[in-house]
């Protein structure tokens, strides 16, 4: 079990929950409505979250730099912090209570990662995450790993890794309707939001690749589809 993963996740959740309760208290004083306000965003949807990490001895491989898989682990913290600060995670929690279903969730549905520069032992780095797009099923995120600016006082900043990923909504309401990003956004008070009309070129390509890549495995366990 990755104990440190759970400890860091709990610390992020605890900090965000404290901010959420303070925001709820402020909003409930200002809003006079018969329907209680259950969740509010701490930050707007275009907010860019920031978390800091360090390459520890347990993170390295035989080349003495951070193992490829650790980038995915660290990226989790960036996405989780952003879903906390924008209120998406709390909207999921309230939906579970309302629909009386623990199956409602946001799960990682796809990821595209590009390695640019290795992160060495003991080096610290910053992860910046932003929500770039959403459609009828998923939220799309962009993430960048940058070497700690205090450690490497250089311009332009040293980018180590870039990631595109999508968190897909799963579950359904008691009426049988599938959960969608727009439902969660409406729960956060964004009543007039729609699916963005335009998406950046790299998000568009990412979505197309996700749909096109469907490998087929035969009975012998061999991949037989053409890439």
pLDDT of 30: 53
Nearest Cα to 188, choosing from 84, 79, 78, 77?
Answer: 84
Cβ atoms of 157 and 171 within 8 Å: the answer is: no
Domain ranges of the chain: 3-212
**Cα distance between residue 140 and residue 179, in whole Å:** 16
Name the CATH superfamily for 3-212: Hotdog Thioesterase (3.10.129.10)
**Cα distance between residue 88 and residue 25, in whole Å:** 18
Encode the chain (227 residues) as per-residue pLDDT tens digits: 788 889 999 999 888 888 877 776 666 555 555 555 556 777 888 899 999 999 999 999 999 999 999 999 999 999 999 999 998 998 898 888 888 888 899 999 999 999 999 999 999 999 999 999 999 999 999 999 998 766 555 556 789 999 999 999 999 888 888 999 999 998 888 877 777 877 778 888 888 887 777 777 777 777 776 55
- Sign of the CA dihedral 150, 152, 158, 159? negative
pTM: 0.86
């Amino acid at each position: 079990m990755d104990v440190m993963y759970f400890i860091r996740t709990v610390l992020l959740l605890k900090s965000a929950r404290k901010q959420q309760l303070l925001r709820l208290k402020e909003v409930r004083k200002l809003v006079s409505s018969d329907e209680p306000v259950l969740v509010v965003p701490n930050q707007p949807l275009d907010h860019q979250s920031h978390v800091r990490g360090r390459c520890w001895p347990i993170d390295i491989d035989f080349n003495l730099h951070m193992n490829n898989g650790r980038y995915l682990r660290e990226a989790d913290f960036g996405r989780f912090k952003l879903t906390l600060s924008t209120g998406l995670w709390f909207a999921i929690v309230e939906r579970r209570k309302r629909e009386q279903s623990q199956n409602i969730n946001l799960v990682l549905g796809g990821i595209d990662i590009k390695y640019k520069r290795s992160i060495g032992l003991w080096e610290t780095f910053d992860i910046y995450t932003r929500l770039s797009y959403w459609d009828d099923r998923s939220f799309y995120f962009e993430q960048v790993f940058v070497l700690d600016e205090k450690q490497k006082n250089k311009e332009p900043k040293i980018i180590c890794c870039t990631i595109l990923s999508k968190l897909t909504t799963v579950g359904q309401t008691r009426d049988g309707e599938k959960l969608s990003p727009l439902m969660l956004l409406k729960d956060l008070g964004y009543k007039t939001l729609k699916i963005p009309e335009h998406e950046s070129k790299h998000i568009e390509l990412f979505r197309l690749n996700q749909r096109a890549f469907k490998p087929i495995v035969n009975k012998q366990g061999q991949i037989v589809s053409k890439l």
